[in-house]
Amino acid sequence: MTVLVRALVLTAAALALTACAGHSSGPPEGFTRLADVAPDIVQEIRYHGEHNFVGRPITGYDAPECWLTEEAAQALAAVQADVTAKGYSLKVYDCYRPQRAVDDFVEWAEDPADDVTRGEFYPRLAKDQLFPLGLIAAKSGHSRGSTVDVTLVPLGSEASPPWVVGDPIVDCAAPVGMRFADTSIDMGTGFDCFDPIAATASPDITAEQRANRELLVSAMEAAGFANLPEEWWHYTLADEPFPETFFDAPIG
């Protein structure tokens, strides 16, 4: 092998290693794909696409898949069995979140000029309030693999209709029929609504919305999940297996 050919081979190998470095070969050890455990749970992974508070796909979401620790996935499957008997299905918006995605959120939060999604996701807050209020943080329980953002949809429902850049931006706390046409039952706000009314026990929601939230809370708590009081959609497995570990493998 000539010196030139050898150099070309080594360069090609180095480029191949560089290209593969950022890609995942599957869930981390101790994790599983939710579709392999509970394939009937609807998945609408918002951070893989453009319909989220950043307004673009998020770093680390290379595929629209829900990954969870095996324990959390099995617990969520138990919730699905419970709510199915009542005429509903779970729908997940986000599950495991790589640390690089959290870093992407932080970088976005520090750029005051990037404010295009405010009209839907934080219409009553200035962007520079999101970090001080804890709505965006440098670490997330999602990165430990046992936290899930979830709602209830009527049994037989699918993911929401696609949203693309250029579609109307409507206040996430607007009434059903005005805000984004999510397939979720009426929880009082859309997903990732940075507004006090998104607090699970908000006094400013209707009796129907309260009953819907309580139905979700009851089913999730029965399977060992605890709700984050500030967000009706956010739940963490109480007995999570990796309480101190923040994973960074990209989803894909």
Cα–Cα distances (Å) from 122 to 69, 126, 230, 240, in that order, read 31, 8, 14, 30
- Closest-CA residue to 38 (of 96, 113, 90): 90
Answer whether 204's CB lies under 8 Å from 197's CB: yes
Q: What are phi and psi of 142, to 5 degrees?
A: -55, -35
221 is catalytic: no
If we measure between CA atoms, which residue out of 215, 241, 208, 189 comes closest to residue 79?
215
Options 44, 71, 231, 240, the catalytic residue: 231
Q: Kindly state the tokens that stand for 96.
A: 């495991």
CB of 76 within 8 A of CB of 41? yes
Closest CA to 143 of 203, 193, 72, 75: 72
Six token digits for residue 178: 């005005």
Rounded to whole angstroms, the Cα distance separating 66 from 44 reads 9
User: Chain centroid to CA 237: how far?
Assistant: 15
Task: Look at residue 13 and give its three-state secondary structure.
Answer: helix
Neighbour tally for 220: CB within 10 Å: 24
Distance CA 145, CA 97 (A): 7
Give catalytic residue positions.
231
